[in-house]
Chain A
């Protein structure tokens, strides 16, 4: 297992729920839990992944997510079982959608 931590500036999110969970820790899948963070303009992401050595790809995927979404003021925890970058992007968007009440 590899543990990764990222912090990216992001536009503040407007939460509709206290927390949101998306996905399952199954093969090729991951779960994402979004909770309120301490800084309104920062998105803090901690990843636990079974696949080692993909830190730079995680960084790129999460940076792109933080740049494209109003995800500031959040603390995002991820348990990963080898999801592909596309699945990670999809789940991040889905989890944020639930957290802000926009998309189910």
Chain B
């Protein structure tokens, strides 16, 4: 188990720093990926062209089929480096089309590598509609019995509409480096002022949106290292025993009650540190310094 540190460094391929195409190649079974609408067949965004901004051939998202641990999956991977992974009309249509295909084909899962600040503001209503169509398509896919697993560990995290989409998925696999929330830190600071939230305070940003926080609060199912192989293993482990629940209003009501109770319980807390203390963590200040395995062990010992 205790391999020399140098070896570990050689073997690790940062998921955070990888491009979407590199993630697709590293997370799925080697050589199994077949892209739908590859760059030479796809269309760049017409909205960006009107605004005189260069588009990307694939409009910042890659969709296709592959196998993961030998099981057939459909795959979505957003490219965070292009316009912050933001969802425009074509970008959204590719995702919705893939999810609808999943409803018909019923693969073992859809793997959704989210890396996005949300709606592409340049595309205004088309982007907003795209996000709402993705939300509906995720729920339709799950209702058809196909789990949708979100992987969140890219440089843009999952914010805005994509934060909602990620939480609508069956489960989320996250790294400490990943971030997940609704309004992004800069949005909150712009709207409510620096006293409310200092978006330059990166440690604070991660204490309230980062992977460790989301893992402790139960918003993500698995916490993994920032390593494409760890995301792969995390997704395979999640799927191994996964049974997509049949949608029922009683489960929705129970979830609503749980979230309402959580909101009351943590009301007025200003920082992840306060939330972790309320969750029963004896030394919250140690959390940001802990490695992944220690944090997973710590969570197991917390009161339910």
Contacts and interface: CB of A to CB of B under 8 A. Distances in A.
B38 interface: yes
B57 A31 contact: yes
Interface residues of B, number: 18
A46 to B, nearest CB: 11
Interface string A22-38: 00111101010101000
Interface string A13-29: 00000110100111101
Contacts of B83: 25
A40 interface: no
Contacts, number: 49
Contacts of A63: none
Interface stretch (B26-34, B47-55, B182-190): B47-55
Contacts of B20: 24
B144 to A, nearest CB: 32
B79 interface: yes
A18 B82 contact: no
Given A19-B39, A24-B19, A35-B40, A79 B54 contact: yes
A84 interface: no
B contact face: mostly helix, strand, loop, or mixed: loop
Contacts of B44: 79
Interface string B36-64: 00111000100000001111110010000
A35 to B, nearest CB: 6
Interface string B6-23: 000000000000011100
A33 B39 contact: yes
With most chain A CB atoms within 10 A of its CB, the pick from B21, B54, B56, B79 is B54
A23 to B, nearest CB: 9
Contact of B57 (A21, A26, A49, A80): A21
Contacts of A79: 44, 54-57
B40 A81 contact: no
B56 A25 contact: yes
B39 A21 contact: yes
A50 B39 contact: no
B81 interface: yes
A49 B54 contact: yes
Most buried by A among B19, B38, B79, B82: B82
B105 to A, nearest CB: 25
Contacts of B79: 24
A48 B48 CA distance: 12
Contact of A29 (B53, B55, B81): B81
A18 B40 contact: yes
Interface of A: 1, 18-19, 21, 24-27, 29, 31, 33, 35, 48-50, 77, 79-81
17 contacts: A1-B53, A18-B40, A19-B38, A21-B38, A21-B40, A24-B81, A25-B54, A25-B55, A26-B82, A31-B39, A31-B56, A33-B40, A33-B57, A35-B40, A48-B55, A79-B44, A79-B56
Interface of B: 19-21, 38-40, 44, 52-57, 60, 79, 81-83
9 shortest interchain CB distances as A-B pairs? A26-B81, A19-B40, A1-B52, A25-B56, A48-B54, A79-B54, A24-B81, A21-B39, A25-B82
Given A21-B39, A49-B54, 18 more contacts: A1-B53, A1-B54, A18-B40, A19-B39, A25-B55, A25-B60, A26-B81, A26-B82, A27-B81, A31-B56, A33-B39, A33-B40, A35-B40, A50-B54, A77-B57, A79-B44, A79-B55, A81-B54
